[in-house]
Amino acid sequence: MKNLNKTIVSSMVAGIMAASLSTAAVAESDGKVKLGILADMGGVYADICGRGCVTAAEMAIEDFGGKALGQPIELVTADSQLKPDIASSIARQWVEADGVDAIGGLVSSAVSGAVSKVNLNAKKLTMISGSASNTFTTKSCNPFNVHWTYNVVALANGTVKPMVQAGKKKWFFITADYSFGHALEGVASKVINENGGEVVGSIRAPLGTTDFSSYVLQAQASGADVVALANAGNDTVNALKTATEFGLTEMMDVAGLLVFTQNAQAMDPSVAGGMRLTTGFYWDMDDKARDWSQRFQERHGSIPSMIHAGVYSATTHYLKSVEASGTEEAEVVIKKMKATKPEDFFSRNAELRADGRMVHDMLSVEIKKAGERKDKNDIYKVIKVIPGNEAFSPMLPQCNFS
Amino acid sequence: MFDINLFGLFGQLLVGLINGSFYALLSLGLAIIFGLLKIINFAQGALYMLGAFIAFLALEYLGINYWAALIIVPITVGLVGIMMERFLIRPIANEDHLYSLLLTFGLALIIQGAFTHMFGSSGLSYAIPEELKGGNRLPFMYLPNYRAWIIVASVLVCFGTWYMIEKTKLGAYLRAGTENPQLMQAFGINVPLIVTLTFGFGVALAGFAGVMAAPVYSVSPDMGSNILIVVFAIVVIGGMGSIGGSILTGLGMGVVEGLTKYFYPEASTTVIFLVMVIVLLLKPAGLFGKEA
């Protein structure tokens, strides 16, 4: 046993030494573009940003011609397992030893936060497409953060505000008990109060709760007009299912604050039909979106989530900016990215602000009832387009990295 | 936090009992497999998930409805269990418990991984059967018919199983066969067959719980791993291998968890483990276990 411990300790020491050696050997500009995609390959968010995020990045590279700065673009991928410690050690390996220039994908706010710290040290780009927290462009903003697709502010402004303004004043929250849920509840509560509504209660349910019946009963007793689900993925699907079963949906409105296409597909249309939500992208919104989504579906097997589309868009904008600035050095490339407007099937009236927030038009959509659906992918009806400056909050002065 | 609303409390107790019914079904399966066969079956959660998925696939592709699934799925899952026991577990039957634990844990990961690969992680939806839609307004809450059915069905199955093992001749053979296999074999009873069938039965209970769960929870690959650890804690609290103990503890822990969700929801996923620690400190063999 003692010997075994010795072996373990000595191999750890050797590992640490090797790691610090490689840190010393950080390459400056090597003239090659290398992109890392960190996603959740087998966990709860695998459908919204797992293999699909890799596919989206591959498509972006292929569509760009496969080469940048005259050399083939390299892509490396890894599974974050949704664990911040694993994510940061992968990121460190990538940017310090393997010559990765930018890390994209990034689902779960905790993972993105960890990677962003590593990248700030190494002066490499963090291109967040999957996370919802607005912290990356507010409290923990830094010059190397780029936040694409959506955030909690856009969700709250898009879904909560119109409901409060339409007279739904009393709100009750069922919130996922981790950073994302807290952020979403906080931002949404602010929107409610600012518009003359009030929050009558909230419950923090642990992530991965299967049985929401207890929470639904408490929501029922609260006398609220709307029960807001400040959670994501299976949690939202399960909560809604239970809410219907216990007759909550007949007494109050239920608002899913973050619903991805894959979750909407998993919901029973007779229950979810008519529910409004906010999304950064819908595959069937117009011809350009349909074209790309069709190609994505052929390769991936299912329709893209807004995160998949966001990864493609962010990657494309990055590659264009690398090519235009003639180097892959992050400090130069990020300036170029912020100076040019992203333009593709995903980015509408878009700009990348100096704080790293990619602002673009969001969509307010309604989940179609069973009778309105042509097939299983036909899930949303677009109600209106929310202009980017209404959806996202203004830039904070301390995050102005122009 | 302490303005206790009596009606609200009753509601939570009932909801807790419903959850406890699932815990009871799953922990009963584990307790049978451990109590009689001394196998720690970590694949129980994956087989519960398998049950839910088979019910979903049967409805989707073969048009087999919920009621038929309630019979067919446990049998199918039981057969899977029998194959597992015969070809994978039996070769290591005489090794330390740790081997079967690791083997079944590995199997659980493989099954879960395969289903995530095939069906994704978002979950699928299974409708509540027509006959059980709707519900009744009780003085203190609205009780959906399906939830009432869960309690009735699982209590019937659990106590039926307990009665069979503890009170009938078949059960006596079973207990004797695992207590002293040589002697029973000398009496002309096929002990390996009994072992295989018992394992199959314990696993079939997980399949049954899976069908019961499909209409109320999202059918997803990780539904089993979420619940398995809790169920193991329940088996430990009840006393490893105690059949009746696992049923009562399952129902009881459901209620404890329900109350926690009412008073302090953030702790609802931990409270069972807290109880486990306390029970282990005071009564290491579990509430209903025999002191070794």
Please answer whether residues A127 and A333 qualify as being in contact, where contact means their C-beta atoms are separated by less than 8 angstroms: no
Cβ separation of A217 and B15 shorter than 8 Å? yes
Closest CA to A288 of A270, A316, A258, A309: A309
pLDDT by 10s per residue, chain A, length 402 = 444 444 444 444 444 444 444 444 444 567 899 999 999 988 778 888 999 999 999 999 999 999 999 999 999 999 998 899 999 999 999 999 999 999 999 998 889 999 999 999 999 999 999 999 999 999 999 999 999 999 999 999 999 999 999 999 999 999 998 888 999 999 999 999 999 999 999 999 888 787 888 899 889 888 899 999 999 888 888 899 889 888 888 888 899 999 999 889 888 888 888 888 999 999 999 999 999 999 999 999 999 999 999 999 999 999 999 999 999 999 999 999 999 999 999 999 999 999 999 999 999 999 999 899 998 899 999 999 999 999 999 999 999 998
Domain boundaries, chain B: 14-124+166-221
Quick check: A231 contacting B, CB < 8 Å? no
3-state secondary structure of B65: coil
Amino acid at B3: D
Give dist(CA A381, CA B125) in Å, integer: 21
Give dist(CA A94, CA B158) in Å, integer: 53
Residue among B122, B147, B227 minimizing CB distance to A263: B122
Cα–Cα distance list, B210 to A185, A243, B74, B196, B245 (Å): 33, 21, 9, 21, 22
| CB half-sphere exposure, B16, CA atoms < 13 A | 23
CB atoms within 10 A of CB B62: 11
Residue among B11, B135, B266 minimizing CB distance to A247: B135
Q: What residues are paired with A37 via a beta bridge?
A: A77, A104
CATH architecture of A153-279+363-391: 3-Layer(aba) Sandwich (3.40)
**Which are the contacts of A197, defined by CB distance < 8 A and separation ≥ 6?**
A164, A168, A169, A170, A171
The structure tokens 């830039």 sit at: A395
Instruction: State the nearest Cα–Cα gap between B270 and chain A, in angstroms.
Output: 10
Greatest mean pLDDT among A93-107, B190-204, B272-286 lies in A93-107
A255 token code pair: 């608002």
Q: Mean pLDDT for chain B?
A: 87
What pLDDT shows up at residue A13? 46
Give dist(CA A248, CA A214) in Å, integer: 12
The rounded Cα B6 to chain-centroid distance in angstroms is 31
Quick check: A205 contacting B, CB < 8 Å? yes
Cβ separation of A211 and B19 shorter than 8 Å? yes
Topology of domain A31-150+286-360, per CATH? Rossmann fold (3.40.50)
Indicate if the pLDDT at residue B1 is higher than 70: no
- Nearest-CA residue of chain B relative to A270? B127
Cβ separation of A245 and B147 shorter than 8 Å? yes
- Nearest-CA residue of chain B relative to A220? B141
pLDDT in tens, A302-343: 999 999 999 999 999 999 999 999 999 999 999 999 999 999
Domain boundaries, chain A: 31-150+286-360, 153-279+363-391
What pLDDT shows up at residue B222? 85
Which residues in A lie closer than 8 A to residue B220 (C-beta atoms)? 234
Which residues in B lie closer than 8 A to residue A218 (C-beta atoms)? 8, 262
Whole-structure pTM over 0.90, yes or no?
no
- The predicted complex's ipTM stands at 0.78
B237 token code pair: 């609290």
What pLDDT shows up at residue A314? 96
- What DSSP letter does each residue of B167-219 carry, written as one string? HSHHHHHHHHHHH-HHHHHHTT--HHHHHHHHHHHHHHHHHHHHHHHTTTS-B
